[in-house]
Amino acid sequence: MTFNIERPGEGMRGQIQEKIDNLNKPKGSLGRLEELAMQVCMVQQTLCPQLSHPCHLLLGADHGIEREGVSVSPRCVTWQQMINFTRGGGGVNMFCRQHGFDLSIVDVGVDYDLSGIEGIIDRKVRRGTNNFLHEPAMTAEEMERTMAIGAELVDRCHDKGCNILSIGEMGIANTSPSSIWMSLFLDIPLDDCIGAGAGLTNEGIRHKREVLNSAVEHFFLTTKSRDLSSIKPEEVIAYFGGFEMVAAIGAMLRAAERKMVVMVDGFIMTACALAATRLCPEVKDYMVFCHSGDEHAHQAMLEGMNARPLLNLGLRLGEGTGALCAYPIIESSVRMINEMNNFDNAKITKYF
C-alpha cells in the first residue's frame, strides 16, 4: 500500500525557535527538551503543542526461523505472554497504566488460537511466518495486507483523539529478522548485527550467525543479485519480516501520514523504523527514538540512522517498554514550551 507522508513545513521553525529561546532560561539550557519541543511543534505545526490520548499498540506474531534454535525462548512463550498481557501482568501493562496509555493487544500472526481470549484484537494473517532459512517469510500480498492492518490500527487510535503513538512487539526470535534488516539496509556485515537476543550463550550466538548467514545467502540466490541498491526494500521486508514487524511498519507510516508523533522503542522497533524509512524517508521526521539497549548492534543501527535515543536503561524486554519509559521526557518538553514564562512577562532582563 502507499502512504502520502509530507515532511513538516519549515515555515514555523523560526517562530518556534524564537519562543523556545525567549523562555526565562539561559539559551539552550534545557538541551534535549528544547529539541523535542521543536520536533513536536513542527509535527503539529503549532507554537502550543499538545499530547492527547497516547496509545500503545502491542503486536504479537511468531516466526518460522524460531524452528532453527536461534532463540533461547520457545515459541509457546509468545501466546502465553499475549494472554498474560490481557490480565495486566506484563511490563507493558505496568508502564501503560503508569503513563496513561490506551493499550491495544493485537494478534497479527501468533501460532496459537487466541480468538476466544477477551482483550486480544484478532488481526491474524496466519499462524506464524515461513522459515526464511528456506523460503520467504511471507508473500508480497501478505506483506501488503499486514501493513494495512497496522494502518487500520492507527486509524482506530486517531479516531479516539490520539496524536502520539508507541508500538511494542511480542514475537519469539524477532531479533533474527531485525539483524538481517539492519545488515541489508545499512550495508553492515551481518555478524556485527547479531547479538544474544533474550539471552543466548556464546555457542548460541555462533549458531545463530551460521543460520542467518545461510538465510541471507539463500536470499541472494533467490534475487539473483548481491547488489543491495538493485533490491527493493519490499523484497527484504517480505523475505525476512515477521507479521508483527510488518504491521509496525504500516503503523509507523500511517501515523506519520496522520501527523502523529511516533515513539520508537528498542532493537526490534528500531529495525522496523529503519525499514519504514527505506519505504518513505519522510517518516523519520515524525519519530522520537526513545531507548538504546546495551548491545552494540542496536547502538550501531541508531548511529546508522543518525538517531539519538533519549534513554539507555539497559532494557531488553521489548513490548515497547523503553518507549513508554521515555514518555514523561516528551511530556516535559511540551510542558516546557507551554508553561514556562518568557523574559518579558517575568520582567527578567534578557542577557543574550
What SS3 state is found at 245?
Answer: helix
As a three-state string, the secondary structure of 96-144 is: HHHHCCEEEEEEEECCCCCCCCCCEEECCCCCCCCCCCCCCCCCHHHHH
Question: What is d(CA 243, CA 224) in angstroms, rounded to the nearest whole number?
Answer: 25
* Average confidence (pLDDT) over 85-114: 97
What DSSP state is assigned to residue 166? Answer: E
Q: Assign residue 258 the CATH number of its domain.
A: 3.40.50.10210
- What pLDDT is attached to residue 223? 86
What DSSP state is assigned to residue 309? Answer: -
- What pLDDT is attached to residue 139? 98
What SS3 state is found at 298?
Answer: helix
Question: Which of 1-5, 101-105, 277-281, 328-332 shows the lowest per-residue confidence on average (mean pLDDT)?
Answer: 1-5
Query: 179 φ, ψ to 5°?
Result: -65, -40
Q: Is residue 301 part of a domain?
A: yes
* Average confidence (pLDDT) over 189-218: 90
The model carries a pTM of 0.96
When pLDDT is cut at 50, 70 and 90, the band that residue 175 belongs to is very high
When pLDDT is cut at 50, 70 and 90, the band that residue 349 belongs to is confident
What SS3 state is found at 63?
Answer: coil
Question: What is d(CA 81, CA 74) in angstroms, rounded to the nearest whole number?
Answer: 12
From residue 137, alpha-carbon distances to 132, 178, 215, 348 in Å are 5, 13, 11, 62
From residue 101, alpha-carbon distances to 13, 54, 58, 181, 328 in Å are 29, 5, 12, 29, 12
Q: Is residue 264 part of a domain?
A: yes
Q: Is residue 270 part of a domain?
A: yes
Q: What is the pLDDT of residues 26-83, one digit of tens each?
A: 999 999 999 999 999 999 999 999 999 999 999 999 999 999 999 989 999 999 999 9
Higher pLDDT, 279 or 226: 279
Q: Is residue 349 part of a domain?
A: no
* pLDDT for 197 beyond 80: no
The total of other beta-carbon atoms located within 10 Å of residue 234's CB is 15
Question: Which of 45-54, 57-66, 175-184, 215-224 shows the lowest per-residue confidence on average (mean pLDDT)?
Answer: 215-224
* pLDDT for 351 beyond 80: no
The tally of domains found in the chain comes to 1
When pLDDT is cut at 50, 70 and 90, the band that residue 170 belongs to is very high
- What cell does 20 get? 523556545
* Average confidence (pLDDT) over 270-280: 98
Q: Active-site positions?
A: 319
Q: Is residue 8 part of a domain?
A: no
Q: Is residue 43 part of a domain?
A: no
Alpha helices, H only, the chain: 13-21, 31-44, 76-86, 91-99, 140-159, 175-186, 202-223, 233-240, 243-257, 267-279, 296-304, 321-339, 343-346
* Average confidence (pLDDT) over 11-26: 95
Q: What is the pLDDT of residues 242-265, one digit of tens each?
A: 999 999 999 999 999 999 999 999
* Average confidence (pLDDT) over 260-282: 97
Mean pLDDT of the chain: 95
Domain span holding position 323: 55-328
* Average confidence (pLDDT) over 174-195: 96
When pLDDT is cut at 50, 70 and 90, the band that residue 198 belongs to is low
* Average confidence (pLDDT) over 322-331: 97
Q: Is residue 290 part of a domain?
A: yes
* Average confidence (pLDDT) over 164-171: 97
Q: Is residue 158 part of a domain?
A: yes
